[in-house]
Chains A and B, each alone.
Chain A
Amino acid sequence: MKLHEYQAKEIFRKSGIPTPNGELVTEVDQTTKAIQNVKGPPWVVKAQVHAGGRGKGGGVQLAHSPDQVVSSVQSMLGKPLVTKQTGPGGVIMHQVLIEEGIDIDREFYLSMIIDRAVAMPAMIFSQAGGMEIEEVASRSPELILKEHADPATGWMPYQGRKLVYKLDSPLSPEASRALMAIMANVVKLFMSHDCSLLEINPLVTTMDGKVVALDAKLNIDDNSLYRHKELHALDDPREKEPLEVEAEKYDINYIRLDGNIGAMVNGAGLAMATMDVIKLAGAEPANFLDVGGGASQEMVTKGIEIILKDPRVKAILINIFGGILRCDVLARGLLEAAKHTEIRAPLIVRLEGTNVEEGREILRNSGLKFLVAKDLAEAAELVAKQVS
């Protein structure tokens, strides 16, 4: 789950990571009052959307007067922001953050991720802040430093020293201490909030020697949300496709794609592979939909309903290899869906695995028109035929 910058910064401040002061605005009318509460000029007006690359798309604007702040806010609220991560339609800017401008001395990059290879959280620190870290990684990898947080000990002070005293030009003693304290607090925050990503780019030193997180990105591990109700409440469904929000309610993994073949599959790997097969057979998948290994009959019903709500869908491929999800459960779920929803697109069904005979029997006796494929190759051919 992704948090907005303003939400992340609130958590940062509570966790001992300084940020600029700022105020969130959701209506243009609130701007004047916000300006009074936030030091300036200059001010920085930042669109609060989950998509990255905001700056280049006009989602981050510098304002030198209250009037400029108002016109920036006006130009953003309710309007779409197009970045390289949003697609051509962009995302609507529902809220903006007005922040005090900061007098920047130096820019750094600081993040924490899960390093899968060693099964530990890792802090990534670089003196090349303010640019895309992937770019730094490919051009000058020696500028990227990595330090793991051992779960047995937590972050140790020497690790901060290792990073901070390795800088090409040293920081002042105060700034060094502040930076090391921030590093320790980043690790604590990361662990206590079950983060999957924490990124500060840039983390800056100011002309008066302070260290401040100018930007903030915070993702929470979805699997941990059961023990973080307060964080789960920060979820902003406006940032997602409506059908994805609906799927979430039923614990269905649904991701909207660009094509017109709806797909329902059990298991993430098979669902991805089925998308690939659809594409290689000459069609385009409209979605990724994994009902999960242990899907219930209700989830199957909801899955079909969600696919059918997408008007682009011209045919549906159901590819089920029964394991935890038994084929008879799938078949009953399909029948239930057909009772409530008109199955308006051709339905190609491929069933295999646990209780497959029972599942096929239920479909045969249902009176519904399914195109039953004997294997994946045949299923792909049938799909391609429907849209050609």
Chain B
Amino acid sequence: MNGLIMSILVDEKSRVVVQGITGREGAFHTRQMIDYGTAVAAGVTPGKGGQTAEGVPVFNTVQEAVDKEGVNVSCIFVPPPFASDAIMEAADAGLGVIVCITEGIPVLDSVKVAAFLRRRNSVLIGPNCPGIISPGKTKVGIMPGPIHRRGGIGVISRSGTLTYEVVEQLSKVGLGQSTCIGIGGDPIIGTTFIDHLQRFKEDPETEGVVLIGEIGGTAEEEAAKYIEKEFPKPVIAFIAGQTAPPGRRMGHAGAIISGGEGKAEDKIKALQAAEIAVVLYLPNLGKTALDVMKRT
């Protein structure tokens, strides 16, 4: 947990370095982050140190960005072959939070990253994620800012655009968000549902949590057990992939039903057994969340 409880993980004091700032996506989303109000203090592209991109100074290494600009959060847009190196560089430079947007990192690279991070104090969000936003304070990622509203719902999701859909529904029914975290669609990711549930439990601003899972793995089942035993705030859940065929990788590298494990049905059952409100028909999510929050 590293004592990181601040609305959670990021806030207006976060100073962000964008790794891969001179790439097409890196540049576009740096601009979007700055427009949202995020303090993007530096960019890193090896070999382009000394330039500026989107009005932000570019450095050759993350360490330089730390030394000269005091950055403490990274947002990574580096292509898959170089992304695991970029994550390790950010962790080595001591950044507290590393958000890796990159999709397509080989899973054995992520195995090495996970081993590396066990000996460091960084929290990795992603890879293959939309990032993290604390509405009205800062956004570190690629989610469309205007759909969010400041409020009391924490959102944790394995997906990107599905999270936007959910957030929009929440905002429309008047449920703002304290922090929304995309934990990533890869089989190996830096943080789990439980890591963030623990943070939301301690965060006074968060009154309830929306958990968005999908087929593959058993993270939702584990979250259900944790919630039942230790999480006092209301939780609303949605699981994508009720109609997904087994054995097929559904877009996300981690979204695959294999060896009878990872079915939406089992996840929904586990969540319901823990008395969590599970939304089956996505268009109903906002309304259901409102009902659940009103009851408590």
Contact = CB atoms under 8 A, between A and B. Distances in A.
Contacts of B187: 114, 116
A114 B249 contact: no
B281 A223 contact: no
B106 interface: yes
A43 B222 CA distance: 47
Contacts of B219: 116
Interface stretch (B6-14, B49-57, B252-260): B252-260
A78 interface: no
B282 A277 contact: yes
B161 A323 contact: yes
Interface in B191-245: 212, 214-215, 217-219, 222, 238, 240-245
B25 interface: yes
B174 interface: no
B106 A321 contact: no
Instruction: Tell me the interface secondary structure of chain A in the complex.
Output: mixed
B248 interface: yes
A152 interface: yes
Given A120-B111, A150-B115, A223-B107, A266 B281 contact: no
B165 A270 contact: yes
A269 B240 contact: yes
Given A223-B104, A270-B159, A257 B240 contact: no
A269 B144 contact: no
A268 B251 contact: yes
Interface of A: 85, 114, 116-117, 119-121, 133-134, 150-152, 191, 194, 196-197, 221-224, 226-227, 253, 255, 257, 265-273, 275-280, 285, 288, 290, 292-294, 320-324, 352-354, 375-377, 380
Given A269-B162, A273-B238, 13 more contacts: A117-B222, A119-B110, A151-B108, A221-B107, A268-B159, A269-B185, A269-B251, A270-B159, A272-B250, A272-B255, A278-B243, A288-B244, A323-B160
Interface of B: 25, 29, 32, 80-81, 103-108, 110-112, 114-115, 130, 142-144, 147, 157-165, 168, 185, 187-188, 212, 214-215, 217-219, 222, 238, 240-245, 247-255, 258-260, 280-283
3 closest A-B pairs by CB: A269-B159, A268-B251, A267-B161
